[in-house]
Chains A and B, each alone.
Chain A
Amino acid sequence: GDSVTQMEGPVTLSEEAFLTINCTYTATGYPSLFWYVQYPGEGLQLLLKATKADDKGSNKGFEATYRKETTSFHLEKGSVQVSDSAVYFCALHFGGGTSYGKLTFGQGTILTVHP
């Protein structure tokens, strides 16, 4: 079945450091790919998405490019802030019929940014 694998966490960085969180997926076709973020004490919220190969999703300084050849969707940010401390989830959507709308999530990566 479809699955998402994220890099092991937690990740600890200093403010202004470069961030990469790796995400690879397994799917039988070409899914839509997402990054969700969960701030402390809150629910998940969509950070960015890409719906086809070579698309780049971006939001709040974060970027991720849909790489079909490596089945990857790595999250990057050039300069992290303390306020970026959160849990980041990679997810995919690929399904028709009753599966339409169902997301498959990775295990989440905890990011802590120190001043």
Chain B
Amino acid sequence: EAGVTQFPSHSVIEKGQTVTLRCDPISGHDNLYWYRRVMGKEIKFLLHFVKESKQDESGMPNNRFLAERTGGTYSTLKVQPAELEDSGVYFCASSQDQAGLITGELFFGEGSRLTVL
């Protein structure tokens, strides 16, 4: 069974440009989470989808970030326009249900490293 896959693994863009990150969760997982780790800091929650609906987007930094999950399968996270402070590793995780937060059935992708110059 394929795990959570993320693309691209690394993206280098200039300030002001746009980047779109993609996450394919494990098949059948309704819950999809985006997290971000800025260097030297903790991994921080960005948002949570249940199927195609945004359950919680309280962690989204500002309106330059747009996440979608059309059809409830893969998700995209677009940053437009990118700023220097957006650099970091963006992780996606999925679980079959929210109980995964308690039981530990939460699976992470390898992350997409974003460097904004």
Whether chain B is bound by chain A comes out as: no
